[in-house]
């Protein structure tokens, strides 16, 4: 493999891994809001022109109100980010992060479509993740076609 591609892959792995570790830690920084706080905040954005903001508030708050989903997401971002940062486990970290980076991108695509900068940024994160998995195709390409005999 070309040395420039190897260096680029390492840099992209370190970038995405550190971003996920940071995002995972941030999930535990603020306490979970009480349901009444969420309701009060949602009422402030009940006008028709604030529908997008209301959807984002309800989605994120709903994930936090479950009592587990927001924390599980944070643990997964943290763990898979660490796996991505470690040389020997980078591939498995990239594979496990695919649904998470896809989810982040789709969140911005459907709930923040007017924020073009955020959409491009999260699209780049998802693209980096895809490139990291494709860069290691020799490790998984045999799973796509299994010869019966």
The structure tokens listed for 49 are 């022109």
Buried b (16+ CB within 10 A) or exposed e, 25-39: eebeeeeeeeeeebe
3-class secondary structure, 60: helix
Residue 78 CB neighbour total at 10 angstroms: 19
pLDDT in tens, 60-97: 888 888 889 999 999 999 999 999 999 899 999 999 99
Q: Which residues contact 65 (CB under 8 A, 6 or more apart)?
A: 32, 35, 38
pLDDT for res 114: 86
């Amino acid at each position: 493999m070309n040395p420039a591609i190897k260096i680029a892959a390492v840099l992209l792995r370190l970038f995405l891994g550190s971003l996920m570790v940071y995002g995972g830690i941030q999930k535990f920084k603020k306490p979970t809001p009480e349901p009444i706080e969420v309701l009060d905040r949602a009422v402030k954005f009940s006008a028709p022109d604030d529908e997008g903001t209301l959807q984002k508030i309800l989605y994120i708050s709903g994930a936090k109100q479950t009592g587990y989903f927001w924390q599980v997401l944070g643990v997964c971002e943290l763990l898979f980010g660490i796996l991505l940062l470690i040389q020997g486990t980078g591939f498995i970290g990239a594979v496990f992060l695919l649904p998470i980076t896809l989810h982040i991108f789709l969140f911005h695509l459907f709930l923040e479509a007017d924020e073009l900068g955020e959409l491009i940024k999260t699209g780049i994160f998802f693209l980096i993740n895809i490139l990291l998995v494709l860069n290691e195709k020799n490790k998984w390409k045999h799973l796509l076609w299994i010869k019966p005999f």
